[in-house]
Structure 1
Amino acid sequence: SPYVAALAMDGDEMGKWVSGEKTPELLHQLSKNAKRHLEAILKGKGKTKIKRLLTPSYHLQLSETLANFSTWLAEPIVQAFDGQLIYAGGDDVLAMLPSDRAIECAKTLRAIFRGESPETEIRNLPLNVVQTGFVSAGAGYPLMVPGPEADVSVGIAIGHNKAPLQMLVREAQNAEKLAKGRYGRGAVAVSVYKHSGEIIHWGSKWDGAGLKLMEFMQQHANREKDSGKEAPISGRFPYALAGLLEPYTLMDSLPAMHEVIITEFKHVVGQQGAGLDKEKKQALEQLGQQWLEQTKKHLEDFIKLFLVETFINRHQGE
């Protein structure tokens, strides 16, 4: 592919973790025996929600989790997705990747930062989540990471391989700011810079329907290599959908048009998803409804998901 991606990751609200505003509850930090003993005492005083004290040992552990991630985990994850790490320090990561692997890499970086099992199986990488918050890697012992209460935002800029590297890096960092601002942190934002000059901006919360819908499209809109079979979803799907829905982006009251937009979406699914069986069509329609509910104030995000996905995975030569 002539397109590459720059990825910029940054931890969310790390200042609050350092200041102690987001310190975990004390009972969640204790062994089972210690918790059992202390919980009874705290219940009697109505203090079960008391937070861990802000001490030097807390800051040492926080620093250790960030150092573990940046020293042991960030680079092998990026390399597993055929990428090149530029910088990793604490909660910051900057990397270059193939454009069609950047989003999966971002999801995996986030999962490991939180000490959760990644959705994507990583081959030839000795990396396992021992238990939530701990990852075994090349260090020879389980590494403590920030854990599931922490989160990150990621910006991805996709551009032609002849585009200036500085521009891609800058736009990835701008996309990361967009993920924190427009999408409210705990999100990924993607900016696509086509060689033709067209620019597409899109983003989604990590746990929203957007990434699930994008994955569904990727699985069912790609023609099987060397099989000669057409994909169940036509390559015209995103353009047909955009043609129908773009006029609605000019309207002031999108929530009032919710049912109309869903009807239009189902119409496009019926026309351009003719290769899907009944169960898969229903699954696509359900994901579409969930995504529309989450983007009802920004219909362009609903539409651009399909345009970004089809560009990344199928039409990269334009």
Structure 2
Amino acid sequence: MKTDKYLFQITIPSVQKLVEASRKTADLWAGSFLISYILKNTLKDLAGKYSSTKFIIPHEDLIKKDIENSFTADITNIVIFTIDIQDKNQIKDVIGCIQNSFKKHLIKVLLGNNNQKNKGISEVYEKLEEKNYLTENIKNLAEFQIENSLNLIIGATKLTNYSESRKELSKYIATLKGFKFKELDKIESFELISKENNLFPDNKNYKDYMQITNEIKPALIRGAYKCSICGERFILGATEKDFTGKEFWEFLNKKYSILIEENERLCGFCLGKRFLKDTLNKTDNIPSTSDISMKFVKEIVKKNYQEEILNILDLGKDLYEDNQNITSAIKNKDISKLDGEWLMPITWENYIKQEQDENKKNILKEIKKRLEEFYKDKDFKPIYHYAVLLMDGDNMGKKISKLETEEKQKELSKYLSEFTKKVKGIVEKNHKGFLVYAGGDDVLALLPVQSALDCANEIQKEFNQDLNKKIKDKYFPNEKDLDYHFTMSAGLILAHHRLPLNYVLSEVRNAESKAKKDGKNQIHIKYIKHSYSFAETSLKWDQIETFNNLVEKAEKIPATLATQYYELVSSFDDKSYDKNLVMELATYLMKKKNLKDEIKQLLIDLTDYETTIKDFSYRIKMAKFIKSNTVKEVSHATA
């Protein structure tokens, strides 16, 4: 029977929103990995049913990769593939296959099933059922929330000319994105409410309407709390009498105190996400923001002072019997997996404030005091800031469109797949960070402050050199237009470890956008302290080495240089100032502060007076901030 080749595209919109809805790094990892995991399993099901399936984006190597043994999201939320179709009705079958498979895997990992007993989210619902906290209404609400949490947009067109077919398909997908998704037949509250026609009699009096509605459908009036993570869906466990779900969530907090914080209330989707690591039986560690901040401090302590630190923590061994993180470190005499927050004196200050028992409070005070004395004696300090790095290829849509054949786009997809595999080693091995995802030309990672900038620079060099050599030089060797050159832009946020994670993720997205807006092929850096005070600046990639030299010498730059300059120019119009005047002002202040010539030259080479009047001040502040969050090996340390 004659067949025609059809080009398909799957898009999952609003992935950025899903990733940013994170209170913990476990939520961040889960939101990213969930998409990759579900999508890969769906595509494997599709290829198993339709043998003619040929993947273009992502490369088939990533789809074939053993997802069960993977821990990092490595494919994007867009999939391009072809299938041989016998008649147009088969297109509906393909789309149905994708939708059903996606829904099946989503429910399985976020709601659990009978084959996953005593593991992850399945165990959670089992324990709730044992204690009579799990009703049919709660399970139905959770399933409804999970089923409707993610939308798939699927389009198909007959493949004639590949380039034209891609353009046609892209327009169709863009049109679908603008449509409102199907109207749901139920309303969320503390239970699911079916939409029914003519349920309520006509009432001219509002009070009468509310009273009658409250009698017929109390859930519609009384409602429940919204989820602590997404802020969109209603929480599980609420009842007509208890709209906060107090007993339900107190039980979960007591049973799973590491994963469910006191006063947290989650919807079915976010609860499943929170337990995703356990559900999938992943044993890899997901570091907290505190742990990332303290990465280099922990290494020094482990190498030189581990026994001393464990002796300090041992003072409170009777206080935290339920804290497996600390007790395991003491028992195994190994701080490798100890969360860095327990090495921060400020952490113990918070527990001191909460503790009511005077004897216990005194023990906590002693631990805090010993830690402070430890850092003072060893002449280094805890680090309270970490970095979030977001990177993206510049103008990738244009570059892909210039590769006009299916074979060329497959080739690009293959090289992007190879790049993705290299990123994990760069982030985690070379720079001691944690890779959240690397899919195609997108990268999201958590890093210590002192290694973050070098990590970003190494990633963009790999991307630039690799793809320009393999794609640009091969197909467009004589093109000078930057649209043909592979470059990356990045946002880098250096944030206090106690700032809300969703806020920091939003800020890094804004930083990346600024890097793109201000000319691309660069990185926009912003630090945000606990007080929310900040400084920000952009650097071209070829300025990184010069800026690193400034960071090394930052302690020799008086802090007053930046503040005095800032105060003097703050009254200037930021859009129409005399650039020569502010340059002379900066030169005068540098001379007044007796800066060494090499530092003066570094500031002259780095400062961009064209873009913003504050750049001179911000670059000094940024260099000093990074230097203050840098830990060097202690030279006089003894094992």
* Same fold per superposition (TM over 0.5): yes
CA distance in 2, matches of 1:2, 1:73: 29
The structure showing larger relative contact order (alpha-carbon pairs under 8 Å, at least 6 residues apart) is 1
Counterpart for residue 160 of structure 1:
496
Of 520, 524, 548 in structure 2, the residue corresponding to residue 185 of structure 1 is: 520
* 3-state secondary structure, aligned to 1:100: helix
Pair 1:260-2:548 in alignment? no
1:62-77 map, 5 Å: 62-70=412-420, 72-77=421-426
Deviations 1:127-154 (A, max 9, x none): xxxx9737xxxxxxxxxxxxx9201111
Pair 1:194-2:529 in alignment? yes
Q: Offset of 1:240 from its aligned partner?
A: 1.8
* 3-state secondary structure, aligned to 1:153: strand
Change (3 A) 1:65 1:273: farther
Q: Offset of 1:219 from its aligned partner?
A: 2.1
AA aligned opposite 2:385: Y
Change (3 A) 1:312 1:253: closer
Of 154, 160, 173 in structure 1, the residue corresponding to residue 509 of structure 2 is: 173
Q: How many pairs does the alignment contain? A: 235
Counterpart for residue 218 of structure 1:
551
AA aligned opposite 2:538: G
Change (3 A) 1:287 1:312: closer
Q: Offset of 1:254 from its aligned partner?
A: 7.5
Of 592, 604, 616 in structure 2, the residue corresponding to residue 289 of structure 1 is: 604
CA distance in 1, matches of 2:508, 2:405: 36
Pair 1:307-2:594 in alignment? no
Counterpart for residue 462 of structure 2:
112
Compute the TM-score of the two structures, normalised by the length of structure 2: 0.34
Counterpart for residue 251 of structure 1:
572
Counterpart for residue 44 of structure 1:
none
Given that 1:241 and 1:268 are in contact with CA atoms closer than 8 Å, whether structure 2 keeps it comes out as no
CA distance in 1, matches of 2:510, 2:566: 27
Among all aligned residue pairs of Structure 1 and Structure 2, give the percentage whose two residues are the same amino acid: 26
In proportion to residue count, which structure has more strand?
1
CA distance in 2, matches of 1:176, 1:312: 19
CA distance in 2, matches of 1:203, 1:288: 14
AA aligned opposite 2:600: E
Change (3 A) 1:256 1:179: closer
Counterpart for residue 13 of structure 1:
395
Q: Offset of 1:55 from its aligned partner?
A: 1.6
The runs of 5 or more residues in structure 1 that have no matched partner are: 24-53, 117-130, 135-147, 223-232
The runs of 5 or more residues in structure 2 that have no matched partner are: 1-382, 471-483, 631-639
Change (3 A) 1:297 1:7: closer
AA aligned opposite 2:432: D
Pair 1:78-2:399 in alignment? no
CA distance in 2, matches of 1:315, 1:251: 32
Deviations 1:263-310 (A, max 9, x none): 333333334454x3xxxx1x4434433444x33241122321111121
Q: Offset of 1:249 from its aligned partner?
A: 4.5
AA aligned opposite 1:308: M
Change (3 A) 1:295 1:262: closer
Q: Offset of 1:5 from its aligned partner?
A: 0.8
* 3-state secondary structure, aligned to 2:450: coil
Give the 4+ runs in structure 1 shifted more than 4 A: 253-256
Change (3 A) 1:162 1:248: closer
Given that 1:241 and 1:265 are in contact with CA atoms closer than 8 Å, whether structure 2 keeps it comes out as no
* 3-state secondary structure, aligned to 2:465: coil
Pair 1:92-2:407 in alignment? no
Deviations 1:164-188 (A, max 9, x none): 333222221221111111x221111
Given that 1:254 and 1:296 are in contact with CA atoms closer than 8 Å, whether structure 2 keeps it comes out as no
1:224-235 map, 5 Å: 233-234=556-557
AA aligned opposite 2:395: E
1:43-54 map, 5 Å: 54=404
Given that 2:586 and 2:616 are in contact with CA atoms closer than 8 Å, whether structure 1 keeps it comes out as no
* 3-state secondary structure, aligned to 2:491: strand
Larger Rg: 2
CA distance in 1, matches of 2:498, 2:530: 9
Given that 1:239 and 1:307 are in contact with CA atoms closer than 8 Å, whether structure 2 keeps it comes out as no
Change (3 A) 1:151 1:3: same
Q: Offset of 1:212 from its aligned partner?
A: 4.5
Pair 1:203-2:538 in alignment? yes
Given that 1:218 and 1:309 are in contact with CA atoms closer than 8 Å, whether structure 2 keeps it comes out as yes
Change (3 A) 1:315 1:69: closer
Given that 2:563 and 2:617 are in contact with CA atoms closer than 8 Å, whether structure 1 keeps it comes out as yes
Deviations 1:19-65 (A, max 9, x none): 11xx5xxxxxxxxxxxxxxxxxxxxxxxxxxxxxx222211111112
Pair 1:55-2:369 in alignment? no
CA distance in 2, matches of 1:187, 1:206: 5
Q: Offset of 1:109 from its aligned partner?
A: 0.6
Deviations 1:230-270 (A, max 9, x none): xxx23x2x432331344324334888733433333333333
Given that 1:245 and 1:261 are in contact with CA atoms closer than 8 Å, whether structure 2 keeps it comes out as no
Given that 1:154 and 1:175 are in contact with CA atoms closer than 8 Å, whether structure 2 keeps it comes out as yes
Change (3 A) 1:272 1:213: farther
Over the aligned positions, Cα root-mean-square deviation in angstroms equals: 2.8
